[in-house]
Chains A and B, each alone.
Chain A
């Protein structure tokens, strides 16, 4: 009789988990409600200063510049009322078609990359892209062009002072 009572005490001698579960559940709910996930955004990098034109003679740093491609950006509204980019690269004008813009920019990049490689004075053997948006261009439209430039292979992307009013 005494032996069976001892056995019973042994089975129930573990720590009481209930308070711990209570606290852990409170912590879990707090973290789930207050935490914001680190993901969701990412960053487009530019490591060139704002490009300014016509501001006097070239300085020593500007003389041996890498070859440049310039893209002028403005905006239009498509049939659904959505704002789309109007990008001019040389004599090409692309309206709201990112794939076409990527392919035009890629062709220009490859062409100018050959020029950069052949030029012993080119510093980084890279091609710079200068995005010149109209002042009224919406930021999301400019970002679409930046995105296309990135996909086309440009590693050096700069912005120029805006055009128009």
Chain B
């Protein structure tokens, strides 16, 4: 009668192939769903209001983000936006007069682009009187569409 023995162990090391499969899947997932260092002109100190309804941003290339924060500059909120060519956020004054005014900035950013949009990213605790100058500036610059950024409830 033939005697059965345990199969010979051929490799002594840990099989890393399943580990690599899983890790590769995770890397591809993170690369697809995350934004790394993408300069969108966002002021991260702003606490957005919550809203149950809303749509996704379909055309970020044709838009400029105007941040309205709680920080005060005189009697008004602080308005900051990133120039279309990129770079640091620049402070803007309310109104339409002067190169650094909201109206002039939005008009410059709009150029001749008919699909141009303004994204208003305002802190939940700013008063409407601080949002108004941005809306006036959009009307001055003949922007046809503006969007208010809100947080998805958790």
Binding site for B on A (CB under 8 A): 11-12, 17-18, 20-21, 24-25, 27-28, 31-32, 34-47, 49-50, 133-140, 142-144, 146-147, 150-151, 159, 161-162
* Given A17-B20, A162-B132, CB of A136 within 8 Å of CB of B33: no
Check B27–A147 contact: CB distance below 8 A.
Answer: no
A124 → B minimal CB distance (Å): 14
Quick one: which of A27, A40, A46, A139 has the most chain B CB within 10 A?
A: A139
Q: Within 8 Å of chain A (Cβ to Cβ): is B39?
A: no
| CA of A165 to CA of B31, assembled, Å | 49
Ordered by A's residue number, 29 sampled pairs between the chains whose C-beta atoms are within 8 Å are A21-B20, A31-B36, A34-B37, A35-B33, A36-B35, A39-B152, A40-B151, A42-B53, A42-B54, A42-B55, A42-B56, A42-B149, A43-B149, A44-B148, A46-B147, A46-B148, A47-B145, A49-B144, A137-B128, A138-B124, A139-B122, A139-B126, A139-B131, A140-B124, A143-B49, A143-B124, A143-B148, A146-B51, A146-B148
Output the nearest chain A residue to B142 by Cβ-Cβ distance.
Answer: A49
Chain B positions 39-97 with a Cβ under 8 Å from a chain A Cβ: 48-57
Judge whether B23 and A25 touch: CB under 8 Å. Answer: yes
CA distance A37 to B34 in the complex (A): 5
Output the least CB separation between B123 and chain A (Å): 7
Contact across chains for B35 and A35 when beta carbons are under 8 A apart? yes
In residues 103-137 of chain B, which contact A (Cβ within 8 Å)? 119, 122-132, 135-136
Task: Report if A140-B135 is in contact (Cβ < 8 Å); known contacts: A17-B20, A34-B37, A38-B33.
Answer: no
- Secondary structure call for the B interface: mixed
Complex Cα–Cα for A5 and B153 (A): 65
Q: Could you count the A-B residue pairs with CB atoms below 8 Å apart for me: how many are there?
A: 150
Q: How many residues of B contact A (CB 8 A)?
A: 52
B54 to chain A, nearest CB (A): 3
The verdict on A24 contacting B139 (CB below 8 Å), with A41-B152, A43-B56 known, is no
Question: Which residues of B come within 8 Å of A, CB atoms?
Answer: 10-11, 16-17, 19-20, 23-24, 26-27, 30-31, 33-37, 48-57, 119, 122-132, 135-136, 138-139, 144-152
Q: Are B128 and A147 in contact (CB under 8 A)?
A: no
What is the CA–CA distance of A42 and B151 in the complex, to the nearest angstrom?
A: 6
In the complex, what residues of A have CB within 8 A of residue B152's CB?
A: 39-42
Let me know if B150 and A143 touch, CB within 8 A.
yes
Residues of A within 8 A of B23 (CB): 21, 24-25, 28
CA distance A142 to B37 in the complex (A): 32
Asked whether A49 lies within 8 Å of B138 as measured between CB atoms, the reply is yes
Chain B residues near A137 (CB-CB < 8 A): 127-128
Chain B residues with CB below 8 A from A25, complex form: 23
| 5 closest residue pairs by CB, A with B | A35-B34, A42-B54, A140-B49, A31-B30, A140-B124
Q: Per a CB cutoff under 8 Å, which of B37, B56, B125, B136 touches A138?
A: B125
Q: Which residues of B contact A140 (CB under 8 A)?
A: 49-50, 124-125
